[in-house]
Amino acid sequence: MTEIDFAHQTTIVTGASSGIGAAFATELARRGSDLVIVARRLDRLQTLASELESAHGIRVTPIALDLSAPRAGRTLADEIATRGLSITGLVNNAGFGTDGPFHEEDPERLTDEINVDVTNLVDITRAFIEPLRSAGTGILVNVASLAAYAPSPGMAVYAACKAFVLSFTEALWFESRETGLRVLCLSPGLTRTEFFDGLAGGAYNGNYETPEQVVQTAFRVLDAGGRRPSVLSGRMNSLTAGITRFTSRKRAVILSGVISARAAGREAAKTR
């Protein structure tokens, strides 16, 4: 299998108003795919749509949608159907995280986090998986995180959500192997996006990749034929995740807690 021909394809990108989502939209437009870009901020989507249409001569349809609302996938599918669009690809990039001790977190914010990161990722995927499999020419990319590979004290819900995304996507990779659809779970580490604006602790300490570097990691796997169900972006992130394979779950969660606390500038809880 070779690099995907995106001409005459239409790919949905969620969370496309900035960061990794905008980088995915830009790369897909460069490759010739028409786009449906989804996020809450319509003004940003419209600006990006105009830029991509002008630069690449493709069609971009911006749709404003709150992905924390119930049944977002079915709502999006209905909206796309009314516009007469046929979808051949999907990038589930939308997501956000919360941080701090779980017992101190806002329950409403946690519910929104699970809805965006898990519930509606599944709902959107289910809404489009059949046409994606039937087309057999595009991609299904779900964006997880380095946090998917170990429990993360201080970001307990976020890490659990991303662990779900990793497991879910790898299962879909197996189920879709004979269809021509290339399925991939992409797990970035620290990336220069607006993600940290929503965290109580702000930006973490460490080496950051750009959104463009993360997206290129995904396309290296997809262009090679999609033979891998998942990929971590960044060599150090791959090494960090690999440590969990060689230690007990207790030691993994202790190590994760210490690393997360140091990165966030917090004092790690004592463990024994």
What pLDDT, on a 0 to 100 scale, did the predictor assign at position 201?
Answer: 54
- Which residues have C-beta within 8 Å of that of residue 113, sequence separation ≥ 6? 96, 97, 98, 157, 158, 161
- The pLDDT score that the predictor gives to residue 256 is 67
- Would you list the domain boundaries of the chain? 10-264
Q: How many residues in the chain?
A: 272
Rg (CA), the chain: 18
Structural class in CATH, domain 10-264: alpha beta
For residue 158, indicate whether it is catalytic: yes
Q: Divide the 272 residues of the chain into consecutive groups of 10 and give the mean pLDDT of each group.
A: 86 97 98 98 97 98 97 98 98 95 96 98 98 97 95 94 98 97 96 67 69 97 95 77 69 69 52 32
pLDDT at 270: 37
Confidence at residue 88, expressed as pLDDT on a 0 to 100 scale: 98
- Tell me the two tokens of residue 142: 């779900």
- For 56, phi and psi rounded to 5 degrees? -125, -5
pLDDT of residue 268: 42
pLDDT at 265: 59
Task: Give the pLDDT score at 266.
Answer: 54
Q: Tell me which residue of 127, 139, 124 sits closest to 94, measured CA to CA.
A: 124
Which of 149, 158, 204, 208 is flagged as catalytic? 158
State how beta strands 182-187 and 139-143 pair: parallel
* The predicted structure's pLDDT at residue 175: 98
Strands (E), 40-151: 60-64, 89-92, 139-143
Name residue, tokens 């051949």. Answer: 88
CB atoms within 10 A of CB 31: 18
